[in-house]
């Protein structure tokens, strides 16, 4: 009788040990609390000229990272800089010029180690696709061929700053200002040219490639302005620094760099 009791006891003990082991294995396979990890939302402040390519990048990234949701906010780099300075929620900043990124970094608002020079663009002069003007150079903007030119606001829009550099180099800035209509970002300038509200405009080459309603008539003369470099980096106050850094790394993968090139951007050399 005692032997039977011992056998029963051993069987029960063995069963309990097996069950305990199974619970331990299952528990180790789940995050704390027994539920799936909470989804992460990243806010990406990106220059307006990155709108089309970043929308596609966002779709790809979310398909590959089911736990991450990307929220893109587009605008002029200067306006986005101001948002970060004023404490607006942001995880990643993608600028159309080094000026805004450098300013934020010097103010201690960026993770300095995360900042990369990602892409390069070109400054171009465009006219409406149906225009019969024979405008063919930046120098000709000051002639009677042009009554109004669309430019980015130089205080906050990088393409406007590059434009002023070009015309300053050509000693034409004052004459151009007399004909200028200033837009809040590069896509506004592009839309004016598309609809014929201005005779011509200065945008990035990548913007011109997004539409058949404008045509490029000239690139900015060599050496007339700084290189158009697009940096990216993690905002220091990001609540998700690891996930934000992972996205910046993703932007540098061969697949995504090739995608940028398909939209007209150049890789940094």
pLDDT, position 23: 45
Provide the b/e sequence for 43-56 (b: ≥16 CB within 10 Å).
Answer: bbbbbbbbbebbee
Q: What is the pLDDT of residues 210-226, one digit of tens each?
A: 999 999 999 999 999 99
Sequence-distant (≥ 6) Cβ neighbours of residue 255 within 8 angstroms: none
pTM reported for the whole predicted model: 0.80
The two three-digit tokens of residue 40, written as one number: 């992460």
Instruction: Provide the total of helices (H) and of strands (E) in the chain, helices listed first.
Output: 10, 11
The two three-digit tokens of residue 24, written as one number: 């331990």
Q: What is the pLDDT of residues 47-56, one digit of tens each?
A: 999 999 999 9
- In a structure prediction context, what are the per-residue pLDDT tens digits for the chain, which is 269 residues long? 445 555 545 455 555 554 554 444 444 444 444 345 678 999 999 999 999 999 999 999 999 999 999 999 999 999 999 999 999 999 999 999 999 999 999 999 999 999 999 999 999 999 999 999 999 999 999 999 999 999 999 999 999 999 999 999 999 999 999 999 999 999 999 999 999 999 999 999 999 999 999 999 999 999 999 999 999 999 999 999 999 999 999 999 999 999 999 999 999 97
The two three-digit tokens of residue 138, written as one number: 């930046």
Phi, psi of 161, deg, nearest 5? -65, -40
What CA–CA distances, in Å, run from 90 to 42, 45, 78, 85, 106? 7, 7, 15, 10, 17
């Amino acid at each position: 009788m005692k032997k039977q009791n011992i056998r029963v006891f051993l069987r029960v003990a063995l069963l309990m040990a097996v069950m305990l082991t199974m619970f331990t294995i299952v528990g180790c396979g789940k995050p704390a609390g027994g539920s799936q990890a909470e989804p992460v939302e990243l806010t990406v402040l990106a220059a307006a000229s990155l709108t089309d390519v970043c929308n596609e990048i966002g779709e790809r990234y979310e398909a590959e990272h089911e736990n991450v949701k990307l929220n893109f906010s587009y605008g002029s780099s200067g306006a986005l800089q101001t948002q970060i300075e004023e404490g607006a929620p942001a995880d990643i900043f993608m600028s159309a010029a080094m000026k805004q990124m450098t300013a934020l970094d010097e103010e201690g608002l960026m993770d300095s180690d995360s900042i990369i020079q990602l892409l390069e663009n070109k400054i171009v002069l465009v006219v409406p696709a149906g225009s019969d003007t024979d405008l063919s150079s930046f120098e000709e903007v000051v002639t009677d061929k042009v009554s109004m030119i669309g430019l980015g606001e130089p205080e906050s829009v990088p393409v406007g700053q590059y434009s002023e550099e070009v015309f300053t180099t050509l000693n034409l800035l004052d004459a151009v200002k007399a004909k200028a209509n200033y837009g809040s970002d590069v896509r506004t300038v592009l839309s004016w040219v598309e609809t014929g509200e201005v005779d011509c405009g200065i945008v990035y080459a990548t913007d011109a490639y997004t539409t058949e309603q404008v045509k490029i008539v000239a690139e900015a003369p060599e050496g007339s302005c700084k290189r158009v470099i697009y940096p990216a980096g993690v905002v220091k106050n990001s609540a998700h620094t690891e996930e934000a850094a992972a996205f910046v790394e993703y932007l540098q993968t061969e697949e995504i760099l090739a995608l940028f090139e398909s939209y007209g951007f150049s890789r940094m050399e």
